[in-house]
Amino acid sequence: MSAAERPFERKIMKHIALLLVGLVAHVSSAFALDCAAPLTQKDMNECAYEGFLDASRDYASSYKTLGDGLSAAQKKQLLRMQKSWMAYRTQACGFESSASQGGSVQAMVKWQCMARMTKQRAGELDMLSRCPEGDVSCVQPTVKVYKASGSTQCNPGSGTPVKVMLDQFAAANIPVRAMGCGTDVAMRTTVCGAPDGAIRIFEVSASDLNKAAAQGFFLLGTLPEAREIPCH
């Protein structure tokens, strides 16, 4: 991470931390509640708040995943955008619960609204961080890269462990969005001990393609006959 990016990274982490304020304070009450069958309005209010905290955890994860692959300028934009969205959410849910102003159900209505909007926003951030390959209008387009697994015929489980490849990405500060398995579909003679054509496939941010190449990974599109298959 460059020196220019560090202030924005700290702001993003602070923003995420603010979302989770109150989690520890409510852990004990969460254990005492049965939100599948709340008995009192107070219980329903507490359960609605717990639902909001659950949604906030998902939102924080989605926010960080998206932010990890953005440039310093984009991170700054994202932070401003999310602060504006949080202010809008507060106003919108305040309005939605205004009909029960002063009543015992107001808190439940408000927290249910906050949870619903937070879940929706988490989904929107997930979509931004998982755009289709080749979508040039995406704020964070991804690409698929591969590396030969090194496994050989007649030797199940041989080859480079996935963890070793993931460590290579981690060492280069490349977040991996998804991973899978595949085969290069090349014609080869069946000989025990010879390469079997298995490859490991990883999805990373397009902006990290050069760093991935430096670690020995290749763009999957350069292997046109390759086929993705379930991992065993």
Q: For residue range 57-109, list pLDDT tens digits in order.
A: 999 998 988 887 777 788 899 999 999 999 999 999 999 999 988 898 999 99
The mean pLDDT of 210-227, rounded to a whole number, is 90
Residues counted in the chain:
232
| pLDDT at residue number 42 | 87
For the chain, domain boundaries? 6-129, 142-229
Which residues, in sequence order, are CB contacts of 78 under 8 Å at separation 6+? 12, 63, 66, 67, 70
Chain centroid offset of residue 120 CA: 14
CB half-sphere exposure, 141, CA atoms < 13 A = 11
| CATH, domain 6-129, list 1.20.1270.180, 1.10.3720.10, 3.40.640.10, 1.10.645.10 | 1.20.1270.180
> 68 phi and psi, to 5 degrees?
-60, -30
| pLDDT at residue number 17 | 60
Residue 217 token pair: 């990974």
Query: What is the rounded average pLDDT for all residues in the chain?
Result: 84
Q: What is the per-residue pLDDT across 116-156, written as a single tens digit (0 to 9) for each?
A: 999 999 999 888 877 665 566 677 667 889 999 999 999 98
User: Could you tell me if 160 and 149 are in contact, meaning their C-beta atoms sit under 8 angstroms apart?
Assistant: yes
